A and B are shown apart, each in its own frame.
Chain A
């Protein structure tokens, strides 16, 4: 860049987020050149440029809700201020030839008033909802639909959902990890027995059961260990398999065929396990979840120039995608929003031909994007935070966090944790295998979701906030990297009773 251009740059902030394979730096030069060309040509003015924050992200998900370039306006309570603009460039997705057009489109769209409340995105696409917090977005209704109608989805794609996971299978089923987990559990039971505190019925709960593979492996291993050591704990087990999808529970039964006499299959909402299992308050010895928290409704917050913002989103289809889908399924473009709404209400049967309904669902999901805006929060109030997260403590966390940061509130995960811990028996423990951010600084280092994984949402989970909520509920949280599969990004959260 020439010195003249540098002088013109003002206070534009460029943030290069590293994430594993990192081509972001290579893209930075092209990006800056493009921005200054746009400035010289008068497409951008100096004031706008000075209020840009450019984030170069390498996005780990092949499929996400983002365009190659998006511009996110930060609303200001002061009308006279030029709004800050966060420009996110997906370095995995950008094409040099279209970079200029992508930037121009994103910035102009964000600055020319299309995104004011109540405005329609139709100038650039078809809006499928109004702006709302991410948690309230229809994106999560797609996620719910996926788990409820999983077999329809899998039938259409011809592959099981676990095949969509990195590595093609779930880390939850790793035999060595299960063997270690069972050994730890057995040791706990032995110690309780020594202190005359072993209950006559030993409750174990798994939430999010998949195909039942992990539960079956766990029970096989426990039974074998119990027999080998002659402790006779196995017959005292009451193993609860819980999922919010009856279809998933039914699919898990065959895997448990050797242990059915001690298994119960329970439909429950992972956000609120104690609502269903209140009769087991303080009774469950061990609770396990794998890849559940990353799939629970979430919200994001951001801090820019010392001010806090809530990230709002609006689902939309690009004009070209909307036209293609409209033509393929013979649905007028004007009716697309209504058809999506029907799909989410009743599932693929909304279409007279179910196969067509599933195809429509998959096409919409593939095409759906989220437009974003940042809405200022005047102050941190209880209502803007998940239950259990104290505003004063949140302020302390933010005091120690990077000054400019965008992070997950992990609302659903926090809610789930808070509503799961009261089920634990004294000395019982919770184990959660998932993708966690355990240091707020990590949010500066890379994009952490949301992404699309097959027909569902995947999102990193804010372990810092989980730790806070757990502490107030009487538990310390610990995060151990999942070392059984090299390259795994998952960690294992486990609780210990707080003194």
Chain B
């Protein structure tokens, strides 16, 4: 499938409807069955796919609507991780989880999600997974000698899943590592974990690093300078970064370090319900193009649209697509 110049995509999650929040919470309170919830998820994912297609997004995801949050979906699937199902009162809360012994290998079931996505769209697709660094920050480690050792073993287990995904036809995989900006001192070993995670995986790999989006607000502040030059050692083809909310700050780092990577440039601020105009989006893209060659720029929101109201999320994606079209036209495409 040929993509246009400045391909548009999303970071992963789509707007979580209030009704789905209530039903997920009902599930945790044992008021609805797993089977009902699975059907509800299928329906919600189809709607999220349709919205992305209608907005004109080039590379779409399943909206991650099956996930309570970016951690627990993996906590529930990772063999060897213990968690307390009663530790949430609201679906979005994190489970209280821990690892007590060496993680056994086993499937995580993400291939089913990918196949469902592919069966319901003709567009280019992307599947997103939470990376070992972020998981190691939320799952209490009671076995490994260090967080680094835990993350490396998470990478080993998850590497198998990524290979399965690639085998099933996933061409684009994004690894989400939002916790990294809160713990920049971990970057050195995190790159090792990333490389272990993607080793031998036959797909285009991107890594998404933002400043957090828990409850629709940033968890940390600072500069992306901490990423460079170490991030260039990661065996990934793309980094996607948060620029819209931060006013394009740090775009210059990409030129300064001559990063040979594709860059997903955040042009939509997902931490405000205010909808950008296409002109604002176009201006943000133009600014990115001052520092990056157009062939390496992907256009996307700063992070997932999880906390945006659905009409807002949809309008923002539409504005993103329209703004991208303005710049494409200026570039003669």
Contact = CB atoms under 8 A, between A and B. Distances in A.
A357 B63 CA distance: 62
B271 A426 contact: no
Given A473-B215, A498-B215, A199 B272 contact: no
A427 B218 CA distance: 10
A282 B271 contact: yes
A395 to B, nearest CB: 11
A199 B94 contact: no
Interface in B60-119: 90, 94
Interface string A412-428: 00000000001011110
Interface of B: 22, 25, 90, 94, 138, 184, 211-212, 214-223, 226, 245, 271-272
Contacts, number: 45
A499 B182 CA distance: 13
Contact of A281 (B25, B215, B272): B272
A457 B210 CA distance: 45
29 contacts: A195-B184, A196-B184, A196-B222, A196-B223, A197-B221, A197-B222, A199-B221, A281-B271, A281-B272, A282-B218, A282-B245, A392-B25, A393-B90, A424-B217, A426-B211, A426-B212, A426-B217, A426-B218, A426-B221, A427-B220, A471-B90, A472-B90, A472-B215, A473-B217, A474-B216, A474-B217, A499-B94, A499-B138, A499-B214
Given A281-B272, A392-B25, A471-B90, A422 B217 contact: yes
A34 interface: no
Contacts of A498: 214-215
B29 to A, nearest CB: 9
Interface string A146-178: 000000000000000000000000000000000
B247 to A, nearest CB: 12
A326 interface: no
A392 B217 contact: no
Given A281-B272, A392-B25, A499-B94, A426 B220 contact: yes
Contact of A474 (B22, B214, B223): B214
User: For chain A, which range describes its interface: under 10, 10 to 19, 20 to 34, or 35 or more residues?
Assistant: 20 to 34
Nearest to B183: A195
A392 B218 contact: no
Interface of A: 195-197, 199, 281-282, 392-393, 422, 424-427, 471-474, 497-499
Given A282-B271, A426-B217, A472-B90, 4 more contacts: A426-B212, A426-B220, A427-B220, A472-B215
A497 B219 contact: yes
A336 B222 CA distance: 61
Nearest to A392: B22
A282 B25 contact: no
Contacts of B271: 281-282
A472 B22 CA distance: 13
Nearest to B215: A474
Nearest to A425: B221
B220 A197 contact: yes
Contacts of A281: 271-272
Interchain residue pairs A-B with the least CB separation, the first 6: A474-B215, A197-B222, A426-B218, A426-B220, A426-B221, A197-B221
A386 to B, nearest CB: 16
A341 B138 CA distance: 58
A387 B316 CA distance: 23
Residue of B138, B211, B222 contacting most chain A CB atoms (<10 Å): B222
Nearest to A424: B217
Contact of A282 (B214, B217, B226): B217
A396 B110 CA distance: 34
